[in-house]
Amino acid sequence: MIDLHTHTNISDGTDTPRELINKALAQGITTIGLTDHDTVGGWDEAASALRSGIDLVRGAEVSAQTTDGISVHILGLLFDPHNAELAQILTNTRDNRIGRMERIISKLNGAGYEITMADVQAQLSEGATLGRPHLADALVAKKIVKNREEAFNELLHNNSPHYVGHYSPTPEVAIHHIKRAGGVAIIAHPFASLRGRTISVESFEPLVAAGLDGIEIEHRDHSTADRQLCREIVNTFALIETGSSDYHGTGKLNLLGESTTSPANWEILAARATGVEVIRA
Ligand code: AMP
Ligand code: ZN
Ligand code: FE
Ligand code: FE
């Protein structure tokens, strides 16, 4: 079973990278992609936790935003982490998330919710990419909401008055630099409309021109119609279809291996990468 998109507590998941590998192995995953938001900080721990039976695909989920403000996530797999331009993009995004969080907090304070940056930092492991799920956890700890789901539904969603964006490259720039760093670039859950506005079918052409390799079609946030539309785009541009869980530990309902990528498709993608190797224990 091949699951190319998962998160740990190096971003907004709840398992350590070691726990992720252990759980994936126990659940019959044979190839696991580690794709924390905007960071490669979990790569070494995941590699050191590997045991025979599971291969590790090192990656990251790069936050991007179109010029008209639509959030897009690009999975970069097997890129060279020492590529200076890509590393700088990831650093800029992580740094910008801190001021952005302060602005969200001050909006919440203005609306009467008593929450501080220290409350949010208390939910974050050392060096992790800061995100709204940590704020959600802080709101849960303060008993303002019951769980992450309620925090997002009531206060933190993209159309909320408390929402603030953060610096991100455009999807074209993210794809370009992932490719330059020898990685493969897959657009994650492109039509997951529960999260906010999504890109149009017409927006795919420039992404393909920038080097897009594939589309994550099988994802729990895609409806049957979303998947059908994705398949048409995959056929139009000869892209590769993937599926993955987007596992976040206890931070989301998503279960390891609930959606997967076919071995044939993974073979095609892996053969295109020149950044770092798949680690086979
Ligand atoms: P951010 O990167 O700070 O903009 O936060 C986005 C993250 O929040 C993504 O990783 C999503 O997986 C997560 N997220 C979005 N909606 C929800 C939700 N309803 N429940 C839990 N996590 C969510
Ligand atoms: Zn996440
Ligand atoms: Fe995502
Ligand atoms: Fe994700």
Q: How far is the CA of 54 from the centre of ligand 3 (A)?
A: 23
DSSP assignments along 46-99, one per residue: HHHH--TT-EEEEEEEEEEE-TT--EEEEEEES--TT-HHHHHHHHHHHHHHHH
pLDDT band at residue 281 under the 50/70/90 scheme? confident
Residue corresponding to tokens 């700088």 = 88
Tens digits of per-residue pLDDT, 252-280? 999 999 999 999 999 999 999 999 999 99
pLDDT at 234 over 90: yes
pLDDT at 155 over 90: yes
Q: How far is the CA of 52 from the centre of ligand 3 (A)?
A: 29
Tens digits of per-residue pLDDT, 74-115? 999 999 999 999 999 999 999 999 999 999 999 999 999 999
How many residues appear in the chain? Answer: 281
Q: Which domains can be identified in the chain, with CATH numbers?
A: 2-91+166-280 (3.20.20.140), 92-156 (1.10.150.650)
pLDDT band at residue 195 under the 50/70/90 scheme? confident
pLDDT at 218 over 90: yes
Q: Is the pTM of this model over 0.95?
A: yes
Q: State what percent of residues in the chain have pLDDT above 70.
A: 100
Q: Which atom of ligand 1 is nearest to the CA of 157?
A: 16
Tens digits of per-residue pLDDT, 43-64? 999 999 999 999 999 999 999 9
Q: How far is the CA of 194 from the centre of ligand 3 (A)?
A: 12
